[in-house]
Structure formats: structure tokens, C-alpha cells
Amino acid sequence: MSKDIYQDALKQLDRAAQHSHAEPETIERLRHPQTALEMSIPVRMDDGSLKIFKGYRVRHNDSRGPTKGGIRFHPDVSLSEVKALAFWMSLKCAVVGIPYGGGKGGVIVDPKSLSRLELERLSRGFIEQAVDFIGPLKDIPAPDVYTNAMIMGWMMDEYSKITRTYNPGVITGKPISMGGSLGRDDATGRGAYYCIKELEKKRGWNPSEITVAVQGFGNAGQHVASLLHADGYKIVAVSDSQGAIYRKEGFDVPSLVHAKQSTRKVQPVYCEGTVCEGIPADHITNEELIELDVDVLIPAALENVITTDNAENVKAKVIVEAANGPITADADPILEKNNILVIPDILANAGGVTVSYFEWVQNKNGYYWSLEDVQSKLHNIMRSAFNEVYNIMQEKNIHMRTAAYALAVNRLADAIHAQGTHSYFAEIS
């Protein structure tokens, strides 16, 4: 695995370039993020001391619209990671055909070590530094790993205060009371679920016979597991950063979600009313979970969990990337050789940004939709994007990631081409 995650991401672009109609100079454009902001955020801590946190915001490409993407609070954030995540956002928005380019932000921090007030000061401080870089028609942040609606609310409030205008469209994933959209909370997991439902049709699956392991039990993991469980899929393993649990018979997912939300740990329990009982399960590691003999593996946490070190041991038949970048570029060919279908991140987790787009549209219009409207519009977008990518994969006999990249790159190339000057010179020569 390359240590530089952005360079690793570019390998996937190079692989797809030959299957797209993009000019080499367009591919070259996409290799370089447009702009990157590095910021130092001073935060007054509760004990009176001052701490400076390092943050980033990257705008990868805005040819298809304002840049869009989350802000991550995590100790492992780096500029290279934020660049990779912004690059994937450009492709993700293009795959599902929503009018955005890609952006991303991050702060190097362990948010679990901060008090509520420290977290609020940090979130407001991020906006203070980024205020000229973002905007409803420029760059629109959203939640990502370890950020949530509460944080988006503080950020939107700070932006509105600084600009002295009520500006909900500057950020998405907000609380409903501050202009958030119904259905944004479970949108990432729901989008992945809609992809799995399309595959279910293609493979003629009976959900009760399909075993699923979910690595990461945050927003995306909990919701995709809950939706699959409700349809009868057998969720046999889940994990969080502390470890994993396995149960051959499958888990009652609502009880797991209840336990996770009340104890911040995944615990095998069964809850009826307020009474929860422990149920037996094997405790395994996150690494063991990745190698379980299941039908569907859903990495739903961070990058680089499937690498050349463990790809050969993956036994799942299908991997659904609810996380961004869980498979390194060099691990991909190993999975391909072993006939493992990968529904790639830029498609599988695009439900989040799609409902963010709906939120932004509602903010612009000041007219708010029902949950049914949001979910049926999301379903339509995910269904058609999945099938477009699936058909390209079959027609060209290529990996599903390469097919998704080819589709995205074509859409980006069309926008870049329409704005550019390349054709003047092509006609002259």
C-alpha cells in the first residue's frame, strides 16, 4: 500500500482513464485538486489553556457545480487524506449525476477527548477560518466521520453570524429545526441498501439465506444493517473501533443499535421495552471480521482496511463500500482475480451526498419535502446510477469500480471540455 493515500487514489483514476472518453489533459486536470486551505484553529479549552488545531478544506474540482463534501474530525486526518476524499467526492457526485464538484475538510483532533463546549468552539473556529473559502454557491460542507447534525448546526449558525444573513444552504446535514432535510440522517446507509437491493434482483437472492458482516457501526453501518435486517438478511457480525462480535444465527440489529447508542460500544444484547439481556456471541477482532466467510462484507468505517496484506484472505462474495476508500488500489486486483464483486464507495455511499443535495435544493427554495418524497427521489437516483454502472461493467467486462470511475470521468470530462479551449486547438491542428 502506498503511504500517500492521495497517490493511491490516483492509481484508480489511471486504471479507469482508458475506459473513458476523457482527453489526457482532462485526466491531468483531475489529478490536481483546484485549491487547498490549511488552517490553524485556536480553541480556548475548558481549563483556560489555548490549543491550536490543524484543519484543512480542499476543493478538488468545480466544473460540474459548487464543491461539496463532509468535514471529518479524526486524529489521523492529513492533507493527503482530505485531498483523496475531495477527489472521490468529485467522482461520487458525477456518478449519481448531482450538480456538484468534490470538496472535503478535516481537523486533526480526537473529538471524544473534547467537552461539548470545546467541540462547539472548534466547530465555530473552523468556520471562522474557512469563511471565505466556502459558501452556498462555492463550497458546501456536510458531516463525515465523527461530525454530526449538531456540529453542522453550530457551523451554519457561525457562518450566518459572520455573513449577517440567514444562510442554511452553506452546509448540509443540519438539524431539521435549522433547515435540515428529513431523511438525511440515514441516507448514506439507505443508499448502500438500495444498491444491495438492486444486486439482490440480479443475483436472485433470498435475503434470509444471505449473511452480512458490517465493519464499523457508526451512522452508515447502523443504518445499512438495520435496513437489511428488516428485510430478513442475516447480520452475523458487526464491529466498532473497540472490537467485533460474531453470531452464526445473526443478530437482532435494533437491539445492537440500542446498545451502541446507550453504551457507545457494540454489545450483543436483546432488548424488550427497557429490559436488555446479554446474549452469547463470539468476540473477534476487526481484522477477523474482514476475513469472515460471509456473502456480503460492508466496510463502513475508515480507509485502508483491505490491503495487499489481507485481500487474499477475504472470503465474502460481495463487498459494499459504505466507507470511503476502504480498499487500497493494489488490493483491488486481488479481489477481482478472486471474483469478488466490489460495489465501489463512489456509488455505494453516494446516498449521503444525494440527500445533502436535496437539503440544499430545499434551502434554496425555502420549501420542504416529506420523508416519502426524499426517500423515493433517493431510490430513483440510486437505482439508476447502480444500473448504469452495472451495465458499463458488463458491456466493457471491467471491474465495477473502474466502470463507476469511467462513468464519472466522462461526466466530468464533458463539463471540463465544454468550458475549455482544447477544441480550438484541435480544430487548428
CB of 358 to ligand GLU, least distance (A): 10
CB of 25 to ligand GLU, least distance (A): 28
Adjacent-strand bridge partners of 315: none
CB of 78 to ligand GLU, least distance (A): 16
What does the DSSP 8-state code read for residue 113?
G
Residue nearest to ligand GLU (CB): 70
Burial class (CB in 10 A: 0-12, 13-18, 19+), 188: buried
Pick from 8, 159, 7, 2: nearest CA to 71: 159
* Residue 358 to residue 352: CA distance in whole angstroms: 10
CA 158 to chain CA centroid, nearest Å? 25
What does the DSSP 8-state code read for residue 45?
-
Binding to ligand GLU (CB under 6 A) within 126-165 occurs at 142, 144
Report the half-sphere exposure of 158 (CA within 13 A, side-chain side): 21
CB of 141 to ligand GLU, least distance (A): 7
Exactly one of 83, 92, 104, 197 is catalytic; which is it?
A: 104
* Residue 425 to residue 366: CA distance in whole angstroms: 45
Q: Which is nearer to ligand GLU, 142 or 342 (CB)?
A: 142
Q: Which is nearer to ligand GLU, 189 or 268 (CB)?
A: 189
Q: Which is nearer to ligand GLU, 30 or 142 (CB)?
A: 142
Task: Mark 277-316 with x for binding to ligand GLU (rule: CB under 6 A) and - for no binding.
Answer: ----------------------------------------
Q: Which is nearer to ligand GLU, 103 or 125 (CB)?
A: 103
Q: Which is nearer to ligand GLU, 211 or 354 (CB)?
A: 354
Binding to ligand GLU (CB under 6 A) within 51-70 occurs at 68-70
Q: Which is nearer to ligand GLU, 81 or 144 (CB)?
A: 144
Cβ partners under 8 Å of residue 29, min gap 6: 61, 416
Query: Which of 10, 305, 352, 382 is in the footprint of ligand GLU by CB under 6 A?
Result: 352
* Residue 355 to residue 404: CA distance in whole angstroms: 20
Task: Mark 183-222 with x for binding to ligand GLU (rule: CB under 6 A) and - for no binding.
Answer: ----------------------------------------
Q: Which is nearer to ligand GLU, 104 or 121 (CB)?
A: 104
Contact 377, 405 (CB under 8 A): no
Burial class (CB in 10 A: 0-12, 13-18, 19+), 263: exposed
CB of 242 to ligand GLU, least distance (A): 23
Query: Which of 67, 324, 328, 363 is in the footprint of ligand GLU by CB under 6 A?
Result: 324
CB of 192 to ligand GLU, least distance (A): 11
Q: Which is nearer to ligand GLU, 193 or 233 (CB)?
A: 193
Pick from 200, 197, 192: nearest CA to 216: 192
Number of residues that bind ligand GLU (CB under 6 A): 12
Query: Which of 356, 363, 375, 402 is in the footprint of ligand GLU by CB under 6 A?
Result: 356
CB of 85 to ligand GLU, least distance (A): 7
Query: Which of 61, 123, 167, 172 is in the footprint of ligand GLU by CB under 6 A?
Result: 172
b or e along 138-172 (b: 16 or more beta carbons within 10 Å of the residue's beta carbon)?
Answer: ebbbbbbbbbbbebbbbbbbbbbeeeeeebbbbbb
Q: What is the 3-state secondary structure (H, E, C) of 309-371?
A: CCHHHCCCCEEECCCCCCECCCCHHHHHHCCCEEECHHHHCCHHHHHHHHHHHHHHHCCCCCH
Query: Which of 226, 239, 328, 349 is in the footprint of ligand GLU by CB under 6 A?
Result: 349
Which residues in 217-346 belong to E strands, given as ranges? 234-240, 243-246, 269-272, 275-278, 282-284, 296-299, 318-320, 341-343
Q: Is 317 a catalytic residue?
A: no
* Cell numbers found for residue 249: 444465527
Burial class (CB in 10 A: 0-12, 13-18, 19+), 16: buried
CB of 14 to ligand GLU, least distance (A): 22
Residues that bind ligand GLU (CB under 6 A): 68-70, 142, 144, 172-173, 324, 349, 352-353, 356
Catalytic residues: 104
